[in-house]
Amino acid sequence: MTTSTFRLQHWRVSPVWLGLLAVLLLFMAFLPSQGWSSLTFTLSSFWSIAPFLLLSLVFAAWVKASRLDKQLGRVFAGHTALVIVSAAAFGALSPFCSCGVIPIIAALLTAGVPLAGIMAFWLASPLMSPEIFLLSTAELGLGFALARVITALGIGLLAGVVVVWLQSKGYLAKPQKQDQKPSCGCSSPLSKASVNMWFWHDPAQRRIFWETVRDTGLLLSKWLLVAFFLESLLLRYVPADLVASWLGEGIWALPLATLVGVPAYLNGYAAIPLIARLVDLGMAPGAGLAFLTAGAATSIPAAMAVYPLVKRNVFACYVGLALVGSWLAGLLYGVFV
């Protein structure tokens, strides 16, 4: 690869940035008052959440640069019950996003890790990360953020137990499709790379740290700016009584939020400010939790990437557990909180 080609790929502008700029310019041209209002709201909201964003970036970069993320395989060794608990806990606390989980799942399947542990991690990991926790705390409060942590743990444990029960009945045998190998170029998460917590003296690891800060920062900033821009439009064009009537305290609010969360889910980071605004407009908090959980657990891009790796019954089990777990989480949160 030539230097010019590398620079071209490195500085390639994401379609999300171009789309956001195009929409903003359209508003400036045809509805200038709303355009300036949305721009001001978006920038001020982003500035208010910047400290949480910076903290999450530093932590995620430290985990990757120190090679701590390469020790995942050791968590899944042991008795089945221990595997399930460890996988759910690690998934709920790990910094992996829904797309970052894909090569890990592929590696675990190839390594022959029990499906119960894989499913526990598969469902728990996209629901929570240090970045999600900090952003949820900033936008929705500490109580809601803790509820998301408990939800991630609970759904992971539920998934592991259900898979063990189904396998005892003769289902979900040999979950991996034949001749499927991890398609990414990432190194295996099961590698025995040594952890180096104090990596700053190593130029290669220091470069990984700064590259992670840059890449993750661009990713989070992109989706947060989109979310805040959409939030400004919600404030202007979505009547509060409409939100309250559809996703308020009615009997259909919770199942509707769970089902709508799958196709309507934008991004783990973009969804948080949107749900915060919808809750302010009258959305039941339990419905908001169900929406976030169902959307994150069944993220369409990640689900499509994993689908070729596992058999259909395993994939159907994953989707069903995500929806049922999300509904239960929203129900319990509404009852107790």
Please report whether residue 30 resides in a domain.
no
Please report whether residue 19 resides in a domain.
no
Please report whether residue 85 resides in a domain.
yes
User: When comparing pLDDT for 206 and 106, which is higher?
Assistant: 206
Please report whether residue 209 resides in a domain.
yes
User: When comparing pLDDT for 32 and 304, which is higher?
Assistant: 32
Residue 139 pLDDT > 80 = yes
For residue range 111-124, what is the model confidence (pLDDT) as tens digits? Answer: 677 889 889 988 89
Residue 261 pLDDT > 70 = no
Least confident window among 35-39, 43-47, 199-203, 299-303 = 299-303
Greatest mean pLDDT among 88-92, 174-178, 206-210, 263-267? 206-210
For residue range 141-194, what is the model confidence (pLDDT) as tens digits? Answer: 999 999 999 999 999 999 999 999 999 998 888 887 765 544 443 444 445 557
d(CA 9, CA 48): 32
Question: What confidence tier does 5 reach under pLDDT thresholds 50, 70, 90?
Answer: very low
Residue 202 pLDDT > 90 = no
Collapsing DSSP to helix, strand or coil, 160 comes out as helix
Please report whether residue 12 resides in a domain.
no
Q: What is the pLDDT of residue 232?
A: 84
Residue 275 near residue 292, CB atoms below 8 Å: yes
Please report whether residue 278 resides in a domain.
yes
- Of all residues in the chain, what percent carry a pLDDT higher than 90? 20
CA 56 to chain centroid, in Å, comes to 14
- Of all residues in the chain, what percent carry a pLDDT higher than 70? 74
Residue 286 pLDDT > 50 = yes
Greatest mean pLDDT among 68-72, 105-109, 209-213, 217-221? 209-213
Please report whether residue 256 resides in a domain.
yes
Average pLDDT over all residues of the chain: 78
Residue 91 pLDDT > 70 = yes
Q: What is the pLDDT of residue 2?
A: 45
Q: What is the pLDDT of residue 151?
A: 94
Q: What is the pLDDT of residue 263?
A: 54
Q: What is the pLDDT of residue 4?
A: 42
d(CA 323, CA 116): 18
When divided into structural domains, the chain yields a total of 1
Mind spelling out the 3-state secondary structure of 186-222? CCCCCCCCCCCCCCCCCHHHHHHHHHHHHHHHHHHHH
In which domain, by residue range, is 250 found? Answer: 50-180+197-336
d(CA 85, CA 81): 6
Least confident window among 21-25, 48-52, 254-258, 264-268 = 264-268
Output the six-digit token pair for 273.
């400010």
Q: What is the pLDDT of residue 233?
A: 85
Give the residue-averaged pLDDT of 2-13: 47
Question: What confidence tier does 74 reach under pLDDT thresholds 50, 70, 90?
Answer: low
Nearest to 110 by CA among 327, 332, 312, 310: 310
Please report whether residue 190 resides in a domain.
no
